[in-house]
Amino acid sequence: MDETVEPWAAVPTIEGGLVVGSDGSRGAASALDWALDDAQRRGCAVHVVRTWMLATAIDDVPGEPGSVPSMDECAQVTQRLVESDAAATVAARGSGTHPEVVCHAVHGPAGPTLVAVAAHADLLVVGHRGRGHLADLLLGSVAEYALRHATCPVVVVRR
């Protein structure tokens, strides 16, 4: 039986290089900035991954109120968002040489999906998420999941 996988359901296979989780936050931009420096030293590519679920992507897709966008529309909008976020972070670094940056929009819950994408990467980089003075001492759920389950080394970047 030949099964067809929808493009939005495919998990990219990344061999080597750095995988960076990106959700559009300031912490994610800091994680990408750190990863760009590290990738430059290593001489490898940076794969920026933004995970999405219908419930989280639906607000980003333009449309009539009450309409539900297709999964393909959500994937396309999420891809544009991750590309825009990555380009802004690279541009903020100024001119000069930068490692190759490849952007991916991947359907699935953030923690498990990032861990799956980074299974054969050299390093997984995620941002730290804090909500205040005391909460800054705690890790966000995605960072904690990555630290517990990733098969490659993980770096958690504080803002």
* Structure tokens, 134: 């005391």
Residue showing tokens 């958690």: 156
Residue 55: the pLDDT is 82
Instruction: Answer whether residue 2 shows pLDDT above 80.
Output: no
Q: What is the mean pLDDT of residues 4-28?
A: 86
DSSP 47: E
Instruction: Answer whether residue 39 shows pLDDT above 80.
Output: yes
Within 8 A by CB and 6+ apart from 14, the residues are 47, 117, 118, 120, 121
| Higher-confidence position of 111 and 131 | 111
Phi-psi region of 106 (alpha: psi -120 to 50; beta: other; left: phi over 0): beta
Q: Which CATH class is domain 7-157?
A: alpha beta
Mean of the per-residue pLDDT values of the chain: 87
Could you count the other beta carbons within 10 Å of the beta carbon of residue 96?
6
pTM of the predicted structure, to 2 decimals: 0.88
pLDDT over 70, % of the chain: 90
Residue 87: the pLDDT is 96
Residue 134: the pLDDT is 45
| Distance, C-alpha 95 to centroid of its chain | 23
Residues 48-91 have pLDDT tens digits of 999 998 887 877 787 777 778 888 888 999 999 999 999 999 99
